[in-house]
Chains A and B, each alone.
Chain A
Amino acid sequence: MFRKLHRFLGIAAALFIFYLCLSGLLLNHPSIFTNKRSSSDPSILSVFSSPLNDGSYWVQRSDGFFISDPQFNTWSQLPLLYPAKDIFSFITTSSGKSYLAFKHGLILYLKNIRPVMWELVTYPPDDFSSIRSFTCMKDTLVLKTERALYLLSPTQSKWIKIEDYPYTFYSFVKGLHTGYFFKPILLIFHDFSAVAMIVLIITGLSLYFTKRPF
C-alpha cells in the first residue's frame, strides 16, 4: 500500500517539477517570445495623453515611442536614446512639465515639445533599485523605488527621502528565489539544472514503467 502511495506521489511531484523546469527554462530566455513579435508586429505597451492636450496620444511601443492620432492610424516616432520598451510612465504636472520614467531608474524631462528634446533628471543618490511608482501631486514629483519614497518639489533642487524600505532577509530570499542575484552566472546554472531535471524525470519515469529484466 505504501509502495503504491509512494509511486503516485513520486509521479505527481515529478510532473510538477517537470513543468516548473520547462516553464522556467523558457522564461529565462524571454527573447524567444518577444523577438518574433517586435520585428514585424510591434505591440502597443502603454498609451499616455499628449502633454499638448491636442487629442493625440503618446504611445509606448516595443519598437519605440510614438505620437499617434486618436484612431491609431498614423504614427510619428519621437526621438529617444533609450529603449522605449522599458518606459515605466509618462506624466505631466499641473504646470505642464512632462517627465518620462524608465523602470530601471532613469528619469527624463521633456525640455522642448516641438521639436522634442529630452534632458536627464538627477536621480536620488545611491538608489540602484527599480522604480515601483512615479507620479505627481500638482507640481511635486513623487517617486517610489524598491528602496525608498522620494519627493521633488519645484522649490527644491534635490530629491527628499520620505521613507526608507530597508533591505530585509525576505528581499534576499526573494531575490535568490527569482534569480535576481548573480544573474548571468546563475542563468547558466539554472538552465543546466532545469535540463538535467527534465532528463532525469523522463528517464526516471520511463525506467519506472518499463519491465525489469529479472
Chain B
Amino acid sequence: MISLLPPLQSVSKSVSILFCLGCLLMMAGQASAYEKVYYTQEQALAQCFPSARSIETIDISIDNALKQTIEQRLGFSFDKNTVQIFKGYSTDGYLGSALILHEKGKYEPITFMVHISPEKRVSNVILMIYREKVGAEVRKKRFLRQFFGKHASSSIVVDQDIDGISGATISSWALAAGVKKALILSDEI
C-alpha cells in the first residue's frame, strides 16, 4: 500500500525549521515590537502644508540662555541642543511652521508633528510614530482636533482644556505636554 502522507521525519524537520525561523523573526522584531509608523516626515509635511510651493528646513541651535527661558516657561527640563523647524511658503506667502517632537510616553517616545499657523496657533497635530504597547488611540482625529487653535498661553493640560482618552492616559498627557512645548519653542525661536 502506498501512503499519500509525507514521511513523519520530513514533517518534523519542516516544523523545526519553521519554528526556528519564527523565533528568529520574533527576536529581530523585539526592539520595535509595538512600533507603528502612521506618517513619514514627507507625508506629515504634505498634510500640514498642502498648498506649499516650498518648505524650508532650518536647524536652530539652542544656547543655555534660550534653554533656561524655555525651561522656565514650561516648568520642565528641556534637554535638546538643536531643534529642526520646517517653514512652509505658498504663492500667497508664509504658511506657518511645523516641528517634529519625540515626547516620552510611559516608556517610549511618541513622534508627532505640530503645525503652528503664522498667528502662532496650533492648526494641525499629526501622530507619526507610536511605539508604546498600549494607547495608540491618541492618533484619533477627535482627540487631536482639541489642540487646534491653542496658543502658547493656553493651559493645554488633560482634564483642564483637553479631554483625555481612557486606556491611553499617559499618552494623552504626553501629547498635550508636547504640543505645549512646540508652542513655547516656536514662540521663543
Contacts and interface: CB of A to CB of B under 8 A. Distances in A.
Interface of A: 63-64, 78-83, 85-86, 104-106, 111, 115-120, 123, 125-126, 128, 183-184
A119 B78 CA distance: 9
B158 A106 contact: no
Given A80-B75, A118-B76, A119-B77, 9 more contacts: A81-B76, A81-B173, A81-B180, A82-B173, A83-B160, A104-B170, A126-B107, A128-B106, A184-B167
A83 B75 contact: no
Interface string B125-146: 0000000011000000000000
7 contacts: A64-B160, A81-B75, A83-B158, A86-B159, A117-B72, A126-B133, A128-B133
B158 A82 contact: yes
B173 A106 contact: yes
Contact of A85 (B71, B159, B167, B169): B159
Q: How large is the interface on B (under 10, 10 to 19, 20 to 34, 35 or more residues)?
A: 20 to 34
A198 B74 CA distance: 49
A79 B76 CA distance: 8
B104 interface: yes
A63 B157 CA distance: 10
A123 B105 CA distance: 11
Contacts, number: 63
Interface in B62-90: 71-77
B75 A104 contact: no
B72 to A, nearest CB: 5
A106 B169 CA distance: 10
Contacts of A125: 107
A117 B160 contact: no
Contacts of A106: 106, 170, 173
B25 to A, nearest CB: 21
Interface in B149-186: 157-160, 164, 166-167, 169-170, 173, 176-177, 180
Nearest to A78: B75
Interface string B26-44: 0000000000000000000
Given A105-B170, A128-B133, A118 B75 contact: yes
A123 B107 contact: yes
A117 B173 contact: no
Contacts of A115: 72, 75
B77 A117 contact: yes
A120 B75 contact: no
Given A81-B177, A128-B133, A117 B75 contact: yes
A120 B73 CA distance: 17
